[in-house]
Amino acid sequence: MNAFLAMWDAEARLGGRPVLDGADLLVEPGELVALVGPNGAGKSSLIRAFAGLLPLTGGVARLSGDDVSIVSPRARAERAAYLPQERRIAWNLPAVEVAALGAPFLAPDEALQRARRALDEVEAGHLVDRGVAEMSGGERARVLLARALATEAQALLVDEPIAGLDPEAQLMVLERLRARARAGQAVLVSLHDLPLAARFADRVAVMHQGRVVADASPLQALTPDVMEQVFGLNARWVEGPDGPLLSAGRRHSAPD
């Protein structure tokens, strides 16, 4: 029972529609768990529930043994950092100051130091003084990831961190998250890219209609049955030089 992130039978609604419908998930420290599933399966909702942003109507979500809803904002931030998919930053702040927002309780100098380290970690050291409005989407994504890493929270809750990034940046982000997991953090990351999920995650949790329907090592979770029922794909995994590759086609593809 030492799972850092723990959710049992979680239920939640958004605008009257159920978005979590009996979801269970455990993430241990030192583990990278990829949350996959089609659009609308409840991945973001599950992550937001752990971040304390989506109140549950049933079940429990716990951070380090305590119910998310009763942990103080500060303790919650120390336990889990949340990186949303949305990458809008309202003002043209320099990268280092955005990253320093990950450490709002440190003295300004220490926060800036930590921010610089985090920017180096995501290979954005050269962006330190550049305003975020003068950056590409990929550069801004790195800066925001650095902000989440600068929290040094015990868990990372990361929603679609590689969406819209170039292939090199996608690999870099997942490498960094895996390195953080190896260093002892509990990392939960939602992904659409199944081969990358299979390659980087210790476990893959497959979501479908608000529920985790498979939760195992990547290839045990993403079985042909699951691929067909959840994603509507005729798929099989083949061994590639850098990890498993997915060979897939639509189950109901239109005739040519």
Partner 1 sequence: MTRGPGQLTILLSVAIVVAAALAVLFGESAFDAAQLGQAFTDASSGPAEVLWAVRAPRAATALMVGAALGLSGAVMQGLLRNPLADPGVLGVSAVAAFGAAVAIVLGWAALPGAVETAALLGAGMAGGLLVLFSARVRSPEALILFGVAVSSFAGAATALIFNLSPSPIALAEVMSWLLGSVQNRSWVDVAWVAPAVLASAVLAAFAAPGLRMLSLGEETARTSGLPMARLRLLALLAAALGTGAAVAVAGVIGFVGLAAPHLVRTAVRGDPARLLLPSALAGGLMLVVADLLARMTPTDQELKLGVFTALVGAPLFALIAWRAAREWRL
Q: Which is nearer to partner 1, 51 or 197 (CB)?
A: 51
Which regions of the chain does DSSP assign to beta strands (E)?
A: 5-14, 17-27, 32-36, 58-63, 66-67, 80-83, 155-159, 186-190, 203-208, 211-216, 233-240, 243-250
At its nearest, how many Å lie between partner 1 and the CB of residue 158?
12
For the sheet with 186-190, list strands across it.
80-83, 155-159, 186-190, 32-36, 203-208, 211-216
At its nearest, how many Å lie between partner 1 and the CB of residue 84?
5
Q: Which is nearer to partner 1, 33 or 63 (CB)?
A: 63
Q: Kindly tell me which residue out of 15, 16, 73, 249 binds partner 1, with binding defined by CB under 8 A.
A: 73
For the sheet with 66-67, list strands across it.
17-27, 5-14, 58-63, 66-67
* Candidate ranges 90-98, 168-176, 206-214, 248-256; the one touching partner 1 (CB under 8 A): 90-98
Q: Kindly tell me which residue out of 38, 40, 131, 232 binds partner 1, with binding defined by CB under 8 A.
A: 131
Using the rule CB under 8 A, is 104 a contact of partner 1? yes
Per CB under 8 A, which of residues 18..57 are in contact with partner 1? 48, 51-53
Sort strands 155-159 and 17-27 into parallel, antiparallel or unpaired: unpaired
| Residues 2 and 63 sit within 8 Å (Cβ to Cβ) | no
Q: Which is nearer to partner 1, 7 or 204 (CB)?
A: 7
- Tell me the number of residues near partner 1 by CB under 8 A: 31
* Candidate ranges 86-94, 120-128, 181-189, 192-200; the one touching partner 1 (CB under 8 A): 86-94
DSSP for 50-62, please give it. Answer: HTTSS--SEEEEE
Helix-helix angle 137-150:108-121, to 10 degrees: 130
Using the rule CB under 8 A, is 109 a contact of partner 1? no
Q: Which is nearer to partner 1, 109 or 242 (CB)?
A: 109
Length of the chain: 256
Using the rule CB under 8 A, is 78 a contact of partner 1? yes
Q: Which is nearer to partner 1, 103 or 162 (CB)?
A: 103
Query: For residue 126, what is the enclosing H or E element?
Result: none
Q: Which is nearer to partner 1, 63 or 162 (CB)?
A: 63
At its nearest, how many Å lie between partner 1 and the CB of residue 23?
19
